[in-house]
Amino acid sequence: MKAANNKQNLNTEQTFGLLTVVGAGPGDVELITLKAIKALQNADVVLYDALVDVALLKYAEKAELIFVGKRKGCYSYQQEQINELIVERAKSGGHVVRLKGGDPFVFGRGAEEMEYAAKHGLAVAMVPGVSSALSVPAAQNIPVTKRGATESFWVITGTTKEHKLSSDVQLAAKSNATIVILMGMSKLSQIVDLFRSEGKSEMPIAIIQNGTRESEKIGIATIDSIEKEVEKLALTNPAIIIIGEVVKHRENILKIQEKHKTQEFIY
């Protein structure tokens, strides 16, 4: 079996199956790529995560479907078990698709799973996904960069494998960059305190829950007031935190539309 765009011929004596790590995009089923759909159509087994919309599984008509998703405090499989399951299901020479939300190389453990599979003799391939870190803010008219407002952006995990706030958040709070924090809701109070300590109490902040889905909710506030807004709107995981002047772009667009009596076109 041959991976898409793999220029090297697979040595069948050394490999006994294929793992394709596939990004499903941020949530909206229409934001999956054509290459990802092709991988699902060719899959014998699909291991899919909690953030994947199950409507996408219709493309894997011939595949065995196994839910291996994780939620805070609830694991159907531990990571080690997922790794072993990938190898086990591929031993017969099958094509295993590991379907992950967003892009698997952005805090998605896709690289770890590929390494494990390769060490156990599998051929491996990667299909990038539309990253939630960029697309979820964009879908709410929040750019991560904007001329005159910011020259760069950070994408940071809010919670490390030790279940602590990443030390990079403190470094990022000192910069003028846009800060995008994934998996950070449980650390929101700590995050807010760090930005306050840098004199950024009035910095705009947005929190988007279930981004690009029908159940999407958004809260817009400042560092000083965001916790009250979160409580008011009952915002929780899964959510993305965006901090920076670029958050104002959303409000600016709404004001312009109101002034000119125009409406946003929804795809």
Q: What CATH number did the domain enclosing 68 receive? A: 3.40.1010.10
Confidence of residue 75 (pLDDT cuts 50, 70, 90): low
Domain match, 30 and 58 both: yes
Q: What CATH number did the domain enclosing 138 receive? A: 3.30.950.10
Domain match, 137 and 193 both: yes
In this predicted model, which residue has the larger pLDDT, 36 or 2?
36
Mean per-residue pLDDT for 115-139?
A: 97
Domain around 172: 133-253
| Residue 119: inside a domain | yes
**Counted domains in the chain:** 2
Confidence of residue 1 (pLDDT cuts 50, 70, 90): very low
In this predicted model, which residue has the larger pLDDT, 89 or 71?
89
Mean per-residue pLDDT for 155-178?
A: 93
Domain match, 115 and 186 both: no
Burial class (CB in 10 A: 0-12, 13-18, 19+), 196: middle
Active-site positions read 49, 70, 183
Confidence of residue 10 (pLDDT cuts 50, 70, 90): very low
Domain match, 32 and 91 both: yes
Indicate if the pLDDT at residue 13 is higher than 50. Answer: no
pLDDT value of position 91? 86
Domain match, 152 and 126 both: no
Q: What is the pLDDT of residues 61-74, one digit of tens each?
A: 999 999 999 765 55
Domain match, 151 and 232 both: yes
pLDDT value of position 77? 84
Indicate if the pLDDT at residue 267 is higher than 90. Answer: no
